[in-house]
Amino acid sequence: MEPSIPLIGISGPARSGKDATASILVARGFERIAFADPVKAAVGALFPDVDHYEDKERVIPEIGKSSRELQQTLGTEWGRHMVHPNLWLILADRAIEAAFAAGKPGVVISDVRFDNEAEFVRNRGGLVVRLHREDREQIRSHASEAGIEDALVDVELDNNAASLEALAAEFDRVVWPVLRERDATPSSVA
């Protein structure tokens, strides 16, 4: 039996495996959302011929910036600083409610990067999992890569797995026991 926690937030530096970890839960019926989904959609509308997921580091020649840089500045400097510090939380809340209304057993947020995002997950009764990966490539410094406060992390997960299957096994070994402790009535999220 797996616990019935409805919301899991994944945190960690760039290239630590946040999307890979989220895909494990998607395979078990969870809805995957990201605080940055609206940002990626906006950058995608501006530059539809650029791969904003797999090739985020490639510089777009016409503007001299990478997709990652565009996403970071649109999300942080514009969205968080100029519009509203909780803009992406407000939009994520709508997506979470829609997922539950559609009957999803849970939601995984694949990009918890700021303290207020971790607090949002925890305030909704969710769990924050922080990933660590030894062999990840370092990404240029930006406020969105600073990480969250240790006190906001519920579970630490080392992602040094050689495959998605090994990562899923490590997730089950480390994370599910913590969830079971918090959940007196486990369900069968498979």
Look at residue 120 in the predicted model and tell me its pLDDT: 96
Look at residue 179 in the predicted model and tell me its pLDDT: 79
Residue 88: other Cβ atoms inside 10 A: 26
Q: Per-residue pLDDT averaged across 126-150, rounded?
A: 74
- DSSP β-bridge partners for residue 121: none
The C-alpha atoms of residue 128 and residue 124 are separated, in whole angstroms, by: 11
Phi, psi of 141 (to 5 degrees): -70, 135
50 burial level (CB within 10 Å; 0-12, 13-18, 19+): middle
The C-alpha atoms of residue 7 and residue 13 are separated, in whole angstroms, by: 20
pLDDT category, 145, cuts 50, 70, 90? low
CA distances from 102 to 17, 31, 39, 96 (A): 27, 10, 24, 10
Pairing of strands 107-112, 7-11: parallel
Q: Is the pLDDT of residue 4 over 70?
A: no
Residues of the chain above pLDDT 90, percent: 53
The C-alpha atoms of residue 41 and residue 75 are separated, in whole angstroms, by: 11
The C-alpha atoms of residue 175 and residue 5 are separated, in whole angstroms, by: 11
pLDDT category, 185, cuts 50, 70, 90? very low
Q: Per-residue pLDDT averaged across 3-18, rounded?
A: 83
Domains detected in the chain: 7-182 (3.40.50.300)
> Nearest to residue 80, comparing CAs of 114, 33, 40?
114
Look at residue 133 in the predicted model and tell me its pLDDT: 81
Look at residue 29 in the predicted model and tell me its pLDDT: 93
pLDDT category, 26, cuts 50, 70, 90? very high
- Coil, helix or strand for 130? strand
